[in-house]
Amino acid sequence: MDARVEAIARGAAAELAWLIEHPPLYTAGTSADPADLIDARFPVHRTGRGGQFTYHGPGQRVVYLMLDLKRRKPDIRCYVASLEEWLIRTLRRFQVKGERREDRIGVWVRRPERGAGHEDKIAAIGVRVRRFVTLHGISLNVDPDLTHFAGIVPCGVSEPRYGITSLFDLGVPVSMPEVDMALRAEFEAVREFSRAVAELAATREPGLFTTEQRKAKRGGKILIDVMRNAYAHTSVAPYSVRARPEGPVATPLFWEELEDRATHPQRWTLQTVPKRLERDGDPWRALAKTARPLSAARRVLRQALDEASAVSR
């Protein structure tokens, strides 16, 4: 993993995801408390990822992601939130409602049958970033031996009302290949959605928007770049200065600004963007907290596509 990450950072290798099923073992993150290792019944591996102790073993899907955040949004909080949303959408395919928590990393499932306020963790997240390339990733409990978690305090969460669960424990007996297919489908879901939105916008406002990748053929229109922006990220760091006359600044947009005829690549510069931030604030200031499922947005998109189709006929 280290060698691949270095190669990605140099631009010498493509991004990569590994889907792995470990033998029984414990891993310790950079914040691991030795007192949380209760019974070292399995090998213990020290890692460079964030977080504390966790268990990996058969029946658990581990995904190591080696992604270049420079090609997206170089924001670790946003990246972790996107991993949580990916897991939540994957669980939804199996009729399991996973939820994120502000005070606990990972994905949680409410268990009211076990008592008031009881929640179980079904998926863990532990990441590291080196030169803006990610290491480590996620683990999803499909059907592991849950008693193996008893050798540690998982992720440092010791309150009795918080436990560990799996799809099988929740009455969802699915195979690992089925989980892998769901993970892949949900990873691609946002890209497919963004492409459809971009094409619809370009169809509705052909004089303003385009999806044409070749700059010479854009005709001065605004490019909706689904090749790089499909995961709500950008390959240009927010508020970075472009090497052009008058120093235009790469500025995040509010939704309503997409319909503003005054929006163009040169609109905000080193002189004007401070006034914009002072007046309007940062459009992305709460991005990590405002992630929403695509289900409602898909319904709106389908309606818009039907309307566009009816007009064209």
Which DSSP string corresponds to 6-49? HHHHHTSS--EEEEE-PPSEEEE-TT--GGGB----S-EEE-SS
Q: Contact 149/164 with Cβ under 8 angstroms?
A: yes
Query: Which residues on adjacent β-strands are paired with residue 241?
Result: 249
How far is residue 309's CA from residue 204's CA, in Å, rounded to a whole number?
11
In DSSP terms, which residues pair with 263 in a beta bridge? none
Question: Among 123, 163, 158, which residue's Cα sits nearest to residue 33?
Answer: 158
Q: Is 78 a catalytic residue?
A: no
Query: Residue 25 phi/psi, 5° resolution?
Result: -165, 160
- Which of these is catalytic: 155, 167, 201, 226? 155
Cα separation, 194 vs 196, whole angstroms: 5
How far apart are alpha carbons 205 and 159 in whole angstroms?
Answer: 54
Residues belonging to the active site? 155
